[in-house]
């Protein structure tokens, strides 16, 4: 297969996995007599499953079939260049065009797009978004124009907001809460994801919420609370506090997205201590464990290379966090989140409180083995929870 066809398929696979694929077309039949003239592909959400609807345009009829990502890629592999010589991929931020000549030479072109595009997963072409950029707070927060269009430089942020809303919806929808749901979003920053959470839960899921955005910077807290007041939003408030000092009486859901270094551990610890039903955190920088590993001087075949030491430290930090959550009775998943502009970290740790027996000694052994192997004295989360493996 020519290299550029492989590259085109990789772009499709990436756009499909990051939910940024807007549409795709296959045209210019390799055999002019082919009854199939072109194919139009768009993402759809059917029974909670993300699929791709292929509309096959034949000379006298159209046919629609839905496929998952793997099937989609198989079909594209089969059809390019055997059935079609042109393929166009439109994602939220770029157009990728593939042209195969009669002699089999494949040319690939990628163009960044300026306009504001989003993925539409609806079957009937009606937009059904979890978050509505036309709501006034998005303008007041500086993400949209007055008319509710996402500005060019906030496209990436909004992609993250949509993805976050999708993930939270899938986590919260099946859960049952008694009365108002108490949520703390620790290290809430400029509030984008906190407003997204409030909008999703109150407008889409019609839930009664008490969301506190915990933020150490007073200027942000002041500004955000003014927006909340101006929009008359109920059940949302920013609190000026460090994560360490914030100990809510009741906490059902703990959220900490991109809180720096060990602030993530402080947040997880308060979720565990408050017996939160759900803990969701996207760790940010991971200095503590890397420093311990460096200090120990105990490097293995992987960690003797600086970059791999850094990556391994990230993995170990988050693995130990996941294990500690498990130890305290949380069924824990490590999921992919969308990356931030200033960090390639894109992991989401999700812990759901279960009734299963907590404090399994096997987990202590696993943590202890990891610490011994990499010369780690203590994970900061152990310290704040006051236990030692």
Chain residues binding ligand SAM by CB under 6 A are 187-189, 192-193, 214-217, 242-244, 257-260, 263, 284
CA distance 242 to 109: 48
CB of 289 to ligand SAM, least distance (A): 18
Comparing CB distances to ligand SAM, the nearer of 141 and 367 is 141
Comparing CB distances to ligand SAM, the nearer of 157 and 371 is 157
Write the burial class of residue 304 (CB in 10 Å: 0-12 exposed, 13-18 middle, 19+ buried).
exposed
Strands 49-58 and 36-46: antiparallel
* Bridge partners for 109 per DSSP: 97
Comparing CB distances to ligand SAM, the nearer of 185 and 326 is 185
CB of 240 to ligand SAM, least distance (A): 9
Q: How long a stretch of residues is the chain?
A: 389
CB of 140 to ligand SAM, least distance (A): 16
Comparing CB distances to ligand SAM, the nearer of 294 and 339 is 339
At 153 the three-state DSSP class reads helix
CB of 202 to ligand SAM, least distance (A): 19
CB of 183 to ligand SAM, least distance (A): 13
CB of 188 to ligand SAM, least distance (A): 5
Cα of first residue to Cα of last residue in the chain, in angstroms, is 52
Q: Give the single-character DSSP code of 95.
A: E
CB of 192 to ligand SAM, least distance (A): 5
Comparing CB distances to ligand SAM, the nearer of 291 and 296 is 291
Comparing CB distances to ligand SAM, the nearer of 193 and 228 is 193
CA distance 194 to 209: 12
CB of 189 to ligand SAM, least distance (A): 3
Answer for the pair 382, 324: CB distance below 8 angstroms, yes or no: yes
CB of 259 to ligand SAM, least distance (A): 5
Helix 69-79 to helix 3-17 angle (10° resolution) is: 160
CA distance 100 to 161: 37
Q: Give the single-character DSSP code of 346.
A: -
Comparing CB distances to ligand SAM, the nearer of 7 and 217 is 217
- Structure tokens belonging to residue 117: 């595009």
* Bridge partners for 67 per DSSP: 52
Residue, CB closest to ligand SAM = 189
Answer for the pair 239, 246: CB distance below 8 angstroms, yes or no: yes
Comparing CB distances to ligand SAM, the nearer of 266 and 326 is 266
Write the burial class of residue 38 (CB in 10 Å: 0-12 exposed, 13-18 middle, 19+ buried).
middle
CA distance 345 to 119: 23
Comparing CB distances to ligand SAM, the nearer of 120 and 241 is 241
Strands 209-215 and 49-58: unpaired
Comparing CB distances to ligand SAM, the nearer of 12 and 186 is 186
CA distance 128 to 176: 24
Helices (H), the chain: 3-17, 69-79, 136-140, 155-172, 192-199, 218-231, 263-273, 287-296, 306-327, 361-374, 380-385
CB of 160 to ligand SAM, least distance (A): 8
């Amino acid at each position: 297969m020519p290299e550029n066809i492989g590259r085109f398929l990789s772009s499709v696979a990436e756009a499909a996995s990051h939910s940024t694929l807007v549409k795709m077309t296959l045209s210019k039949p390799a055999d002019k007599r082919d009854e199939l003239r072109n194919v139009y592909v768009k993402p759809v959400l059917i029974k909670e499953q993300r699929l791709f609807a292929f509309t096959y345009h034949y000379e006298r009829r159209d046919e629609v079939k839905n496929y998952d990502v793997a099937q989609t890629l198989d079909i594209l592999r089969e059809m390019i260049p055997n059935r079609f010589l042109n393929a166009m991929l439109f994602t939220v931020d770029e157009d990728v065009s593939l042209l195969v000549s009669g002699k089999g030479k494949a040319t690939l072109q990628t163009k960044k797009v300026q306009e504001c595009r989003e993925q539409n997963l609806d079957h009937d072409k009606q937009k059904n978004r979890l978050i509505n950029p036309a709501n006034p707070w998005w303008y007041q927060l500086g993400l949209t124009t007055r008319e509710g269009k996402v500005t060019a430089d906030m496209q990436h942020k909004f992609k993250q907001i949509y993805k976050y809303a999708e993930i939270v919806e899938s986590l919260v929808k099946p859960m049952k809460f008694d009365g108002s749901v108490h949520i703390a979003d620790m290290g809430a920053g400029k509030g984008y994801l906190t407003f997204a959470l409030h909008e999703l839960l109150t407008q889409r899921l019609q839930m009664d919420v008490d969301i506190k955005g915990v933020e150490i910077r007073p200027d942000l807290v002041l500004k955000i609370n003014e927006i909340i007041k101006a929009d008359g939003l109920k059940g949302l408030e920013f609190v000026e506090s460090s994560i360490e000092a914030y100990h809510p009486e009741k906490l059902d859901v703990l959220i900490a997205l991109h809180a720096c270094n060990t602030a993530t551990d402080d947040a997880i610890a308060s979720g565990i201590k408050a017996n939160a039903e759900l803990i969701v955190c996207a760790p940010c920088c991971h200095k503590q464990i890397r420093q311990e590993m460096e200090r120990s001087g105990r490097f293995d075949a992987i960690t003797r290379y600086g970059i791999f030491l850094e990556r391994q430290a990230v993995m170990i930090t988050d693995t130990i966090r996941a294990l500690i959550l498990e130890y305290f009775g949380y069924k824990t998943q490590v999921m992919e989140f969308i990356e931030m502009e200033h960090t390639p970290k894109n992991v989401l740790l999700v812990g759901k409180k279960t009734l299963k027996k907590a404090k399994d000694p096997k987990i202590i052994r696993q943590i202890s083995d990891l610490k011994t192997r990499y010369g780690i004295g203590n994970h900061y989360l152990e310290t704040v929870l006051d236990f030692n493996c």
